[in-house]
Structure 1
């Protein structure tokens, strides 16, 4: 039971901090201003690790390499602690890589769900514009193929199905590599 609790707490902490680092990277790629509440939250959560890393790892074009590496470091720490308990330290970098991919997929799922809910309630929140700008590039390929059905946009549903399939593939690959 102790191991399950520790694993859960590590997963929550790595997911929150690593996810914030990935969101910072994605917001910079999409050129979303950070003056909104989401941007300020992301900066407050990640500045302590991203800014020192940025001195060592400069960005590449529009890619904030420091944010990506920070997310990987959180995943590495999570799986490193678990591996020390279990005694399987050799597979930690691979597990952290797959953890990072799962974090990207989970973030896209969360973003899509929030976008869909905000589109239903028609909220006039400052976050609505930010969420729309972040979700639009993910939904664009589906919107080209799937027409509106009775005035409803089914592209978020299609994206969620694809993301779930990707999550299953990643889990299967991870299991195959570890065994």
Structure 2
């Protein structure tokens, strides 16, 4: 029971910090202003990690690699602590792969949540600033699906197609991670 409790706390804390690092990466990639409440939150949660990493990891084109590395390091720390709580069972050498898969799972979950927020906001309040932000953040992921999935009766089903693909990817990642951890 102790392991499950520690796992839950680490999952919440690591998910918040690593997820915010990934949001920072996405906001910079999409050139979304940080001069709004969400941007200020992102800076407050991630500056302590990302700014020191920037001294050694330069950006690559429009990609803020220090934010990506920060997210990976948080997930790696999470799984290392879980490995220690479990008594060091399993191969220590696999922890970087487990951390990478954990980060990919976080991306899938966060993107799924973003697409759901976008869909709900499109029905409830498509003129709101939150809808605009969600649309800009999700656009690079929806665009390939919008090219393939036709409008049906004026309804864009590309978010549904993206969600199905994300769920399939999530299943594969969970299977990989479970195989490595046992």
Aligned residue for 1:113? Answer: 116
What is the RMSD computed on CA atoms of the aligned residues? 1.4
Q: Deviations over 1:66-112 (max 9, x none)?
A: 10111011101110111012213333212111111111111111111
TM-score (norm 2): 0.92
Aligned to 2:98: 95
Q: Which residue of 1 aligns with 2:81?
A: 81
Once the two structures are superposed, the pairs formed by residues 131-146 of structure 1 within 5 Å of their partners are 131-146=134-149
Number of equivalences: 179
Distance of 1:49 and 1:174 partners within structure 2 = 26
* Counterpart position of 1:32: 32
2:153 is the counterpart of 1:153 = no
How far 1:33 moved relative to its partner? 1.4
Q: How much does 1:147 deviate?
A: 1.7
Indicate conservation of the 8 Å contact 1:37/1:127, yes or no: no
Gaps of at least 5 residues in structure 2 are none
Partner Cα distance (1:9, 1:72) in 2: 18
Structure 1 unpaired stretches of 5+: none
